[in-house]
Every structure is written in C-alpha cells, then in structure tokens.
Amino acid sequence: MCGIIGCSLHDNSKYNILSQLAKLEYRGYDSCGVTDLINNQFFTFKSTNRISDLKNKKTTLSNLSIAHTRWATHGNVSTKNAHPILSNNGNYSIVHNGIIENYDKLKEVYLSAFRFITETDTEVIVNLFEYFCKTNDEIDSLYILSKLLKGSYAFIILDKKSDNMYFMKNKSPLIIGKGQDIIIASDILAFDKNVSSYYRLNDFEYGYIKNNKVFLYHNNKQIKPSFISFIYSNYNNQLNGYNHYMEKEIYETKDLLKKQIDFKFDSDIINLINSSKRIILIASGTSYHAGLLGSYFFNHLSNIESSAYIACEFEYFDYYNSDDLFIVISQSGETADLIKIVNILKNHNHNILSITNSIINTISTLSSKNINIDAGIEIAVASTKTYTLSSFILYKLACIKNNLYDKRSVINCIAELDNIYNSTDIYKDLAKSIYKNKNLFFLGSGYDNLICKEASLKLKEISYIHSESMSCGELKHGSISLITKDFPVIYFISDNGYKNTLNSIEELKSRHAKVYIISTNNVEIESDIKVSSTNDLLSFIPFSIVLQFISYYTALLLNNDIDKPRNLAKSVTVL
Ligand code: F6R
C-alpha cells in the first residue's frame, strides 16, 4: 500500500529521491508523485503510471524532497489525487499513508472556508495543518492534529517557507534513518547506504527535521529519540535472469528452507510452546493459510489444542483464555488487520509470538517474542517463499513438545524439490488446460483442503480466474450444482486414507468434469502431477511450489502483470 519517503540531505548536494522511492514499489501502488523544494519553491511531478515514468517526467533535483506511491482509497486513481498534495495557501505539501476515518467531520467543522481540489482524506490533513498554523506554531498544530485525527496515518509535510519537514504517525509505520543524511520512510527498505542508525516512531509521536537534525515530540513534550544502529544491506532486487520476481522467489524457496533446517528456537520460545495448553494462530491471506497448516500441525504433532483465525474476523470471537498462546503470522509485519488484534491482545497481557519476515516491523515490535523467517525481501505481491517458510517454522514449532522433528526426512523432502523445479513443462501443460476457464475448483480433504485454500487464493490473485477451494465431502452439499461438462477441478492428495477424496473424484468424473490430480507418490492413484514427500505432513513443501507454479504459468499465458496484480498491495496497512 502507500509508501511515503522524505529526504533531507546534509549539504546542498542534489539527490534523486525516486531511486529510494522505487524500493517501496513492491508494496503495490497505482500512482506516484514527488515534490522537490528548491529556493522556497515546490516542484511537483506526478504519474498514474510506474516510478520509471515519474523519473522521466522529473526535471529537478533537490536536497529536500518528499515522495509517494499511492494505493487509492479515497478518490480514484488520477494525477490530481496522487500525492504530494498542497494546502490551500500553497505553503505545505504532504505525502500520507493510511486512512483518516473522521476526515469528513473535520472538514465540516474546521475547513468550510477551504477549497478542495482532490477527493482525498489527505488534503484534509494538510489543510487542517495550515488552519491551525494560523494561530499556533507548527509543533503545537501537530499536537492538535494528534488529538483530532482518527484512523491510521503516517505523513510527512514539507514547509516551503522554513524548509522544515514535519512528520507524525499513528498505526501506520514511519521510520527515521540517520547518517550523513536523513531519510524518513514507511519502510527501512527505502534507506540507502548512508544510513547508520534508525528510529521507529511510536504512535502519536511527531516532530520535524531541520538542518539534518531530528526534533521529536510526544504529547506536547520534546523527547529524545533513541536511535538503533543499522547495517545497510542492499537487497538483491535484480531478476537475475528470471522473468518475474514471483518466479525468482519460488526458486529461492529451496535454499531458504535449507537454511532453516538447523535453526534453533531460543529457550523462551521452547518454554512458551511447552507450557501452552492452547495455541491460537491469527493472520491474513496467505499467512492465514500458513496458520491453518500450523494449527493442523499443533493438533496432530503436539496434542496442543489449536485453531487458526483470520485477523479481520478475530475480534468477533471471544472464546479464548488468558493462558492461551497467540501466534501471529505476517510476512510484512505491517498488516493493519493483524496489528489491531495484536494491540488488543497486548493490552490484555497475552503472550504473543510473532512470525515475520524481518525484525524491524510493527508486529514484531509489539509481540512478546518474534521469529524472523529471514526469507529476504519478497517483491512479488503474491506471497510464495514466505508461505512455505512460515509453514515450515510452524511445523518445527509443533514438533517441539513431543520431540518429533525428523531432520533426515526434512532434508530428503527439500532435496526432492529439484525434481519439481525441473518439471516446469507439466505445470505449463496444466496451465494451458485451465487458463481459458472462468471458474475452477480446488478440492482436497483434511490437510489437503488447507493446501487447496492457498492454491485457490494464489490463482485468483494473479490469473484473475475465479476459483474456490472446498473440502471434497462438502461439495455434494450444494456446490456440486456448478459442475457441468469440462468444469475444471484440481485435486491435491497427500494421503491414501482420504476416502472422501476418492469418492469425490468418481462423482465428478461421472458428471464429466475435467479432473486433474496432484498427489504425492505415497498415494496410489494415477495423477497428472506426482511429487515426492518423505512424510505426509511435509507435503506442503512440494505442494506449495507446485501450486505456485500453476498460478504463475496460468497468469503468464493470460499476459497479466504477475508481480503487481491489479488492485493488490503487498503490505495492507489499512483496515
Ligand atoms: C497473498 C498475499 C496476501 C498476504 C496478506 C497478509 O499472496 O500476499 O494475502 O498474505 O495480505 O500479509 P502479511 O503476511 O504481510 O501480513
């Protein structure tokens, strides 16, 4: 979702902020913009296209700039609605990530005399700032805003007259990186090699950057930010011969899994698991699907009662106990639905163990303990390697209690992945058979049904083909009415014992559905795709790669924008 960045250089050297903004591209966006401040004048460039297009338009360079990638919430995708956005008097220019829930009300109460050019909630913030600055200094005005604005936000405002760069945040991430220069951004990935320390702002902190110094406030009092040292690592964002990041990331999975084989959990985490009577997993999207597998593992391997919940639904369920362990899973660590729940749990002093793909993020900061899956940046919007890695970490956690981790079978299972990576022709063939369809079912029973959920989501995300995942036995209770001749149905089968699956295949074949079977070699059934798995519960490893490849090749045939599917954002920072 939206990414914001502000750069304040220590001298008058000029800088192209757009190289840093491009590091936020992976979050997903539909338009972008930048403002350079030069000799008390704003120079603004916008595009409803990619940052590369913005680079072509931008004709200035400055040592003071703000920039933005927008994922539209209020107002359509247009140059007008793209940020930065000016206040009425033209003194202030803002970039904003998040949603102001009470913007309408605030507009009505304070800004009736203001003229609005955009349809955004952001324009309300910058005009409110102008409004309060008429009778207060800027810091007091930010304090007033911290009390008035409801919702999630991180914003940066550039002041044309003073050269100050103001900022404030609540719920949405904002991090200040300091070195020779100062970069303030939604994500540390936007930092450059000059950043040697960082400070993650807490909610309702605000302040300004002037002459390369940071002034920080909370509740009208100046506070001292404690910067933590930072070692810049230029993540490998090259395609290295792959056609898409999604493809590259699927291939990276094997080595990342290998790295985790011997990973040891710290003793606090082991104690947390061993002492848990019940484990509740919470996440969104693909991470929720990893959570479903996790709860299956805890129930089957450790006899710890466990269930998984979708983050945005969790608050509607209240049957949990004070001694439950909560495991929250989030690739980005910034998913607003999950942050909301983590805050509620934290306020009730629950034990929260988070599984994230970095250590510097909101969810890991809020949790009692964190496991970093350390999968490297995932640039494709559709999660691939992080699904497999998070599921693997959950598998290992579930093995702790009864000491069931069988390293040998994990090593063998991972070694077998080469066969999958070398069999792309069969996924391409399957993709050719399905890509012209409008609808599709993924069917499985038990464990396999959990795999189907991820297969269906992955296909929808990047191919835009409607698909549903369903339990084999449940199909006959209604949805079978959709089955007509040649309706495509893909089965995942990891276990001979799933009688419902075998019955369902017969039922659908007799209705002339087009049945495709993906099974492990332990299952005695003729299959379109066979994968090796050394242990039924590890089948998610080969299955995940196969389901990702099927989606990938289907989307490729459809000529879709695979790494940046329409409407989707990598980091969903709004509720
Ligand atoms: C699917 C996908 C999304 C995310 C979901 C949660 O490929 O990427 O469904 O899994 O938005 O994101 P995180 O894991 O960052 O909390």
CA-atom Rg of the chain in angstroms? 25
Tokens of 52: 């590369």
Per the document, the length of the chain is 575
By most ligand atoms within 8 Å of CB, the mutation choice from 172, 189, 289, 331 for ligand 1 is 331
407 CA → ligand 1 middle, Å: 29
Name the CA dihedral angle for 156, 189, 341, 456, rounded to a multiple of 10 degrees. Answer: 120
Residue nearest to atom 9 of ligand 1 (CA): 285
d(CA 458, CA 479): 21
Of residues 12 and 27, the one with the higher pLDDT is 27
Burial class (CB in 10 A: 0-12, 13-18, 19+), 355: buried
Amino acid at 31: S
pLDDT band at 4 (very low <50, low <70, confident <90, very high): very high
Closest ligand 1 atom to 382 CA: 7
Residues 512-559 pLDDT 10s:
999 999 999 989 999 999 998 778 899 999 999 999 999 999 999 999
Mean pLDDT, range 150-161, rounded to an integer: 95
CB-facing half-sphere around the CA of 360: CA atoms within 13 A? 25
Question: Is residue 95 within 8 Å of residue 83, measured between CB atoms?
Answer: yes
Of residues 288 and 19, the one with the higher pLDDT is 288
Per DSSP bridges, beta strands 195-200 and 85-86 are: unpaired
Ligand 1 in reach of 335 Cβ (< 6 A): yes
Closest ligand 1 atom to 386 CA: 14
Q: In the annotation, is 570 catalytic?
A: yes
Residue nearest to atom 11 of ligand 1 (CA): 285
Q: Across-strand partners of 326?
A: 280, 352
Q: In the annotation, is 2 catalytic?
A: yes
The pTM (predicted TM-score) of the whole model is 0.87
| Closest alpha carbon to 390 in 288, 495, 536 | 288
CA 9 to chain centre: 30
438 CA → ligand 1 middle, Å: 24
Ligand 1 in reach of 383 Cβ (< 6 A): yes
- pLDDT over 90 (residue 233): no
210 CA → ligand 1 middle, Å: 37
CB-facing half-sphere around the CA of 327: CA atoms within 13 A? 30
d(CA 569, CA 571): 6
pLDDT at 236: 63
Mean pLDDT, range 126-154, rounded to an integer: 96
Share of the chain above pLDDT 90, in %: 82
Of 49-63, 191-205, 223-237, 375-389, the least confident: 223-237
Ligand 1 in reach of 287 Cβ (< 6 A): yes
- pLDDT over 80 (residue 562): yes
Per DSSP bridges, beta strands 151-159 and 165-170 are: antiparallel
pLDDT at 10: 79
| Closest alpha carbon to 488 in 536, 531, 431, 450 | 431
Ligand 1 in reach of 461 Cβ (< 6 A): yes
Residue nearest to atom 5 of ligand 1 (CA): 285
Question: Is residue 224 within 8 Å of residue 216, measured between CB atoms?
Answer: yes
pLDDT at 289: 98
| Closest alpha carbon to 516 in 478, 479, 554, 481 | 554
Ligand 1 in reach of 339 Cβ (< 6 A): no
d(CA 349, CA 539): 36
pLDDT at 113: 95
pLDDT at 2: 85
Ligand 1 in reach of 284 Cβ (< 6 A): yes
258 CA → ligand 1 middle, Å: 23
Of 160, 178, 453, 570, which is the active-site residue? Answer: 570
Q: Which residues of 9-46 are buried (b: 16+ CB within 10 A; e: fewer)?
A: beeeeebbbbebbbbbbbbbbbbbbbbbbeeeebebbb
Ligand 1 in reach of 456 Cβ (< 6 A): no
Share of the chain above pLDDT 70, in %: 99
Tokens of 575: 């509720």
For residue 91, what are the CA distances in angstroms to 57, 58, 171? 23, 21, 27
564 CA → ligand 1 middle, Å: 13
Mean pLDDT, range 99-116, rounded to an integer: 95
pLDDT at 121: 92
Closest ligand 1 atom to 284 CA: 6
Of 2, 7, 32, 312, which is the active-site residue? Answer: 2
Measured at the alpha carbon of residue 120, what is the angle toward residues 114 and 125, in degrees to the nearest 5?
Answer: 60
HEC string of 46-104? EECCCHHHHHHHCCCCECEEEEEEECCCCCCCCCCCCCCEECCCCCEEEEEEEEECCHH
- pLDDT over 70 (residue 235): no
